[in-house]
Structure 1
Amino acid sequence: MKIQIHILQCLVLLICSELSANETIVNLNQIQEKPIHLAKYMYVLEDTSHQIEFQDLRLNDSKLPFHQNPNAKEAFNYSYSKSTYWLKVKIVNPYEYEFVSSLVVSYPRLKTLDLYFETNEGVKFIPSGYAVAAMDRPYPSRNFVFPIVFPKNATSILYLKVQSPNAINLPIQLWKQKSYDRHEIDDHVLQAIYFGMTLAMIVFNLFVFLILRDISYLLYVLVVLSSAIAIATHNGIASEYLWDNSPWLDQYAINLLISVVLILFLIFMRTLLQTKKVLPRLDRINWILTLIQLILPILYIVNFDMFIKWLVLSHTITSLWILIIGVICSFKRQRIAYFFLLAFAFLFLALIISTLRALGYIPTNVFTMEGPQYGSAAEMMLLAFALADRYNFIIKEKEIAENKVKINLERSNLELEEKVKERTFKLNQTLNVLRKDLFVAKKIQENSISVDVKLLEQLNFVFKYLPVSEVGGDFFDITHLKDSRFRILVADATGHGVHAAMITMAIKGLYDPIKEFELTPSKVMEIFNEEFMDNFVSLNSLLTAIIIDIHFEEQTIQFASAGHPSAVLIQNGKLNLLAKTGRMIGLKKQTQYENVELKFESGNRLFIFTDGVYEAFNQNDEEFGEEKLHELFLNTTHLSLSEVEEELLKSLQNFQNGQERQDDLTILGFDL
């Protein structure tokens, strides 16, 4: 009997040791260009009493009932929970250097989101969540971002404390810092496209309303405007740019705005589909639902916990009702109802997905989080088509009425043919004028980026500027400040062609008066950003830029980079990247840029370029990339600058293998 007990004890110890050995640990070598989703690695502790503090957690870690959620792949979803959640994960850095990363929680409606970062050197506490003002958070972003530096050859532990009255969704990702920086730039561009398209729709249809005095266009403008504000609140843009320290709005605004959108949509539907005339009995329900969407938000403000789920449920019911009305009107063969039904089907699907995710019935991932924005974009475009078709239908009816009173159809056809010929002739004239203007614009742009002959004598450098079309969106300028100091600007406007070329003219007009200021590059960049936002924010354009001051006597380089691709300084056969020190120009006023100073030696080389240099694609849609560009610079240090330039263009041409360039190309090389 004693032998059996002894054997049983050994088995228990063996199982315990095996479980301990199988504890999930994240290895940083798993991170490539894409992030790691930490949900499947994390251990979770639910604190219903809100009594557990971090020190208690550390002392009693092994005794507390932490567990993993096998169903969590990209995120945790706890719906509307009053509990406090503690999450932890062990992360090992196997490298012989510190690993710079970003921990990202891409869900902006978490009130408390505190990070405890435990290493051999101690514990670092970083508070966040919408209860913390945006300016006091560790990283300015529409999401919650924690910059983390993992010590070399060490195991660290991350603890997250989460509590929120809103639905608790936790899409947690761990990025390489450089990859996340690039991802954030892409995200800002996508957001700029969406809100730029929204603004264009609003302005265009507002003008149509002022011309036609058709209330449908005004209601459409209000629907699109309220939807855009709701989307900005949903994805955190509003918290970043509209209000940066209002926990009340972060908690309540999204559901209040959804109610506003639905009320406007009900009124817009009644006007567009004429439900009072076509469906008089069902039209009364529209008013009932409108009244519900007015009353429930008030009760929701009075008692959040009691009415939040009722309000979310009412959103779903109201959306379903709008969809049903669209189906019924489509069966009644209302032409405009087809567009309306298709438009709202996209938005309804996105709202249903968002609601089910908030209630915890479906998982949280990129599709379920960004669905409302995609649905809103599709709905906005299709409703615009509906209004356009309605307008076309009115025009056609008018044309039919006019044709009935025409006496001589043949004479009308002849007159129409003459008008077509006349318009064709005018169009050809206009086209010729445009071609001439484009040629002049090309010459103007070439002159604006021409290099002074004196600079060619004073500096040992080469440059190459190759726009995709006649004109492009790249711009550079070299200025001799005084003595042995030179200032270099390289900028890249989003897009290319005529629009981007006009932005470069704006860049030159803004930069010329300030380029010789005796200020650091960062201060010049801040002035440049303010001037751009004051004068050209309505253009909905962004640009990256880098300003570099070279002081040959002191052998120093000072620079500031507004989201621009990293310039390359080659020193003793090694690369030193001049990385970005602030966000892109045109995103936000009062943006601050860090000023960085480097030392250089005689014989060093500096290359400054736009992203068109490495964003070249071959037939397999593979990118040339920064790594190949850097490797080329290192392998050609024995060549002259002109030979390096020729080698680069030849390499790009061979890589593309007949594929046309998709972006403007600018590169400057300096022998220091």
Structure 2
Amino acid sequence: MNKFCSQLVGFRLTSSKVFLSILFILGNSLLAIEPIILTENRGEYPLGLHLEILEDKEGTLTIDDVQKPKMEKLWFKSQWEVPNFGLSKNVYWARFKIQSQSKKDHYLEIAYPPMDKIDFYILSEGENIIHKKAGDFLPFKERDVQYRNYVFRIVPNENPKTYYLRFETESPMQFPLTLWTSVSLTEKINGEMLGFGLYYGTMLVMILYNLFLFLSVRDKSYLYYIGYIASFLCYLASVNGIGFEYLWQDYPFFNSMIPSTIAVTLFFSTLFTQSFLQTSIHAKTINKLLTTVSVSSLIIALASTKLSYSLSIRITSTIVLIFVILAIVSSATVLKAGYRPARYFLYAWIVLLFGGIIFTLMNFGILPRTFLTNYGMQFGSAFEVILLSLGLADRINELKRQNELANIKTLEAEQRSNKVKDEFLANLSHEIKTPLTIVYAYSEMLTTGKDYSDEVKEYSKEIYTHAQKLNDYVSDVMFVTDLESNLQLQRSTVDLEKLVGYVIKQHQSLVEEKDVFIELNLGEHTNFHCDEILLEKALSAIIKNAIVYNNQGGKIRIESEITLSHFQHLQITITDTGIGISLEFHEKVFEKFFRVDSSLTYTVSGVGVGLYIAKKIIELHSGSIELQSELEKGTKVKIVLPSI
């Protein structure tokens, strides 16, 4: 009985082994890869759904290991057009089989430039394994095809061939695989390069355009904007392989700088946000947070060269998300406060955020890799640049509008101030005139009285003289107020020779005191049309200056002539040999209440309105006044007036 049981158990065990062996053989046959048939009339073969994938968590498997029968159960059929596993430390294997009915060469493209290491194995019966390497850790010149993506040449073979790929990277793990004929691949590359050319060309034009605007208007916003666009282009050039293909072929190290370029982009975009939105004025709390983000981004830009790629990407992605939220909130806040350009900024960052979210979700394996998700960042940034450029243009208009409003307010304030000042001066002058009249009367009485000593009369005469000066000052100040109140001209025919003679006679005592010689050369035609009282006051101010600022025993020459241009004009020139005026003060001497700061001017009394009054009167006559002078070489004042 025991013997029978033993035989029965042995039979069952043998049967089980046979059954499992049959299942294993059947399983292997079921899991066998279906070859991709290459035909003459087809140029593109997406491989995503034709792949089998193996996850190597330890990263230790070799090509021999993954071919062993015991590993078959670990392979699984790809369910994605583009396998995407996000940020993963694991190594992934992929395999596919090809059977060619075409004599054309085909090319395997791995359209993911940030992939660090790629091992490509070609297997076929009776042949050795062919091993090729690629990845952004290797110099660009070692690639089979000099192209931004990884491309391997596949020779046609009627017998099925199996191909293995090993992928290892710190960037998001995805491997978009496509098989192309040479013609189809060339067409694809040409179209792609056209798109990249348009995109990068547009961005470079925007950089140059904004650089020109910065040099023109000196607004820091344009400089930050240029930095933002330039650093963003560096980031995209790293991600899509354009930079490696055209800029740093012999320096694979730069391919690991993507987190740094993101951080630098974040730094400039933060500065641009603060400057463009004027957050220090409109949103002070958010401005402090943005400052924290900008400082953090600089630290990350430096630290990412030491940290692992995946950790750096996670940190920068988090801070970018924080910044975008702050940018949108701050733009909405500033827009609510009434700052119009903020609307362009808000729309721009919403568009970029949408493109960035799509791209980020694709990198983390949440969204599939498609044309839209792969180039979402480029689309978003292109629209963003356009909107921000419109925003900068609107910002210029807004600043102009604000400046105009500020100028209007300043002008109104100045007008109010002038009105108050004029009223004050008028009242003050009126109040001073009353006691001056009394001073005149008493000083004249003391001077002419018979009952007073010579000493008293001398003092009285001095009082009278200074009272007269004070009266002249008050009269000048009051006249300035009248001039600025749209004074109307009372024109009549005037003889210039008589007018000049009258003015010189007014200042005869000064002429004698300075021993000045006055030479007159007034020509034949001296009659002209003007307001005699006003012009007398203008000439009086100029001739008086020529006397009092002249050297002892100096000369003054007064000339006139009729000049013809489009109309007939009378030109009057007054030249002296006095102390002269420094070039830096030539325009200022015509300003109200201005006096040249020198020891000589303080020896001459005055309030600094003489030349201001003269200029205003001449301009009322539609004329012009010009001053030419050098220190210690005298002064020439040229007046041009319409003679009719």
TM-score higher than 0.5 here? yes
Distance of 1:81 and 1:165 partners within structure 2: 7
Distance of 1:31 and 1:392 partners within structure 2: 61
Distance of 1:33 and 1:340 partners within structure 2: 47
Alignment of structure 1 residues 125-204 onto 2, 5 Å: 125-151=131-157, 153-204=158-209
Task: Decide whether the 8 Å contact of 2:53 with 2:78 is kept in 1.
Answer: no
Q: CA 1:8–1:381 in structure 2 vs 1: closer, same or farther (change >3 Å)? A: same
Alignment of structure 1 residues 351-430 onto 2, 5 Å: 351-395=356-400
Partner of residue 77, structure 1: 84
Q: 2:210 aligns with which of 205, 209, 218?
A: 205
Given the alignment of the two structures, is residue 269 of structure 1 paired with residue 273 of structure 2, yes or no? yes
Task: Decide whether the 8 Å contact of 1:105 with 1:170 is kept in 2.
Answer: yes
Q: 2:301 aligns with which of 288, 297, 300?
A: 297
Distance of 1:248 and 1:209 partners within structure 2: 33
Distance of 1:390 and 1:134 partners within structure 2: 44
Task: Decide whether the 8 Å contact of 2:117 with 2:134 is kept in 1.
Answer: yes
Distance of 1:45 and 1:361 partners within structure 2: 20
Residue deviations 1:232-282 (CA, integer Å, cap 9, x gap): 11111011111113332212x111111111111111011111111101122
Task: Decide whether the 8 Å contact of 1:316 with 1:351 is kept in 2.
Answer: no
Q: 2:287 aligns with which of 274, 283, 287?
A: 283
Distance of 2:307 and 2:262 partners within structure 1: 18
Q: In the TM superposition, what is the alpha-carbon distance from 1:375 to its structure 2 partner? A: 1.4
Distance of 2:263 and 2:32 partners within structure 1: 46
Distance of 1:276 and 1:403 partners within structure 2: 25
Q: In the TM superposition, what is the alpha-carbon distance from 1:395 to its structure 2 partner? A: 4.9
Secondary structure of 1:335's partner? coil
Given the alignment of the two structures, is residue 67 of structure 1 paired with residue 67 of structure 2, yes or no? no
Q: In the TM superposition, what is the alpha-carbon distance from 1:17 to its structure 2 partner? A: 2.5
Q: CA 1:293–1:402 in structure 2 vs 1: closer, same or farther (change >3 Å)? A: closer
Distance of 1:28 and 1:259 partners within structure 2: 46
Q: In the TM superposition, what is the alpha-carbon distance from 1:64 to its structure 2 partner? A: 4.3
Secondary structure of 1:161's partner? strand
Residue deviations 1:46-92 (CA, integer Å, cap 9, x gap): 2222322223334x15534442355422x122222222222111122
Task: Decide whether the 8 Å contact of 1:30 with 1:36 is kept in 2.
Answer: no
Q: 1:36 aligns with which of 36, 45, 65?
A: 45
Q: In the TM superposition, what is the alpha-carbon distance from 1:12 to its structure 2 partner? A: 8.3
* Percent identity (aligned): 26
Residue deviations 1:641-668 (CA, integer Å, cap 9, x gap): xxxxxxxxxxxxxxxxxxxxxxxxxxxx
Distance of 1:136 and 1:17 partners within structure 2: 43
Residue deviations 1:330-360 (CA, integer Å, cap 9, x gap): 3334211111111111222222223233333
Q: 2:95 aligns with which of 88, 96, 99?
A: 88
Distance of 1:5 and 1:226 partners within structure 2: 70
Q: In the TM superposition, what is the alpha-carbon distance from 1:397 to its structure 2 partner? A: 6.2
Q: CA 1:249–1:4 in structure 2 vs 1: closer, same or farther (change >3 Å)? A: closer
Aligned length: 399
Distance of 1:7 and 1:127 partners within structure 2: 45
Given the alignment of the two structures, is residue 123 of structure 1 paired with residue 140 of structure 2, yes or no? no
Alignment of structure 1 residues 18-29 onto 2, 5 Å: 20-21=29-30, 23-29=32-38
Partner of residue 224, structure 1: 229
Task: Decide whether the 8 Å contact of 1:77 with 1:170 is kept in 2.
Answer: yes
RMSD: 3.0
Distance of 1:348 and 1:211 partners within structure 2: 31
Q: CA 1:125–1:195 in structure 2 vs 1: closer, same or farther (change >3 Å)? A: same
What TM-score do the two structures reach when normalised by structure 1?
A: 0.55
Distance of 1:102 and 1:364 partners within structure 2: 21
Given the alignment of the two structures, is residue 316 of structure 1 paired with residue 325 of structure 2, yes or no? no
Given the alignment of the two structures, is residue 326 of structure 1 paired with residue 331 of structure 2, yes or no? yes
Distance of 2:336 and 2:41 partners within structure 1: 52
Q: Which moved more, 1:234-243 or 1:27-36?
A: 27-36
Task: Decide whether the 8 Å contact of 1:104 with 1:174 is kept in 2.
Answer: yes
Distance of 1:324 and 1:399 partners within structure 2: 29
Secondary structure of 2:153's partner? strand
Q: CA 1:400–1:332 in structure 2 vs 1: closer, same or farther (change >3 Å)? A: closer
Distance of 2:372 and 2:120 partners within structure 1: 26
Distance of 2:44 and 2:289 partners within structure 1: 48
Partner of residue 106, structure 2: 101
Distance of 2:74 and 2:23 partners within structure 1: 21
Q: In the TM superposition, what is the alpha-carbon distance from 1:138 to its structure 2 partner? A: 0.5
Task: Decide whether the 8 Å contact of 1:43 with 1:66 is kept in 2.
Answer: no
Given the alignment of the two structures, is residue 49 of structure 1 paired with residue 58 of structure 2, yes or no? yes
Q: CA 1:319–1:65 in structure 2 vs 1: closer, same or farther (change >3 Å)? A: farther
Greater Rg by CA = 2
Q: CA 1:394–1:306 in structure 2 vs 1: closer, same or farther (change >3 Å)? A: closer
More helix by share: 2
Distance of 2:58 and 2:16 partners within structure 1: 41
